[in-house]
Amino acid sequence: MDSDDLNTVHHRVVDEQAIIDTAIRYTWALDENDWARLDDVFVPDATARLGDDVTLEGRDSIVGKCSGALSPLAASQHLVGNHHVVVDGDTATHRCYLQAQHVGTKDAGGGLWMVGGRYEDRMVRTDDGWRIQHRDLTVMWTEGDRSLVIPK
């Protein structure tokens, strides 16, 4: 590999890592209920379909859905892996696997609700780094007590 080729590869590796970091930042924000940090994950007019037929329009709507489901829990863990990134200039696609564990409070019986699936994202390069423009969650299986994530 000559020096020019290596530079090209390095730029690609840096972009791919930055995109994966954005996907990971999403999980820590959700699991720490730190909703303001999602400003560094989604562009303001982002859209998302999070496991049902509803298309959420705008970052505030996405945050509302996530906080409604996760805030009542004792804890949650959105484990992601198998990241696959394709960069095309200032846009990119990213997908990864997800195992999202939801832990109920003692008052709610302390049960567990697991969602296995995949995220598929369209990403865009902004002045502040890579952000999600659209996210699709496809649920592959679930286990446990679904009532933990249904708003009362």
Tell me the per-residue interface mask from 104 to 123 with a copy of itself, x by CB under 8 A, - otherwise: --------x---xxx-----
Considering only 33-41, 64-72, 81-89, 123-131, which stretch makes contact with a copy of itself by CB under 8 A?
81-89
Question: Nearer to a copy of itself by C-beta: 6 or 150?
Answer: 6
CA distance 139 to 141: 6
Q: Taking the mean position of all CA atoms in its chain, how far away is CA 147?
A: 22
Asked whether the beta carbons of 80 and 119 are under 8 A apart, the reply is yes
CA distance 113 to 18: 30
- 146 binds a copy of itself, rule: CB under 8 A: no
Asked whether the beta carbons of 98 and 136 are under 8 A apart, the reply is no
- 24 binds a copy of itself, rule: CB under 8 A: yes
In 3D space, the residue among 28, 144, 22, 116 whose CA is nearest the CA of residue 76 turns out to be 28
- 86 binds a copy of itself, rule: CB under 8 A: no
Interface with a copy of itself (CB under 8 A):
1, 6-7, 9-11, 13-14, 16-17, 24-25, 27-28, 75, 77-84, 95, 97, 99, 101, 103, 112, 116-118, 140-141, 143
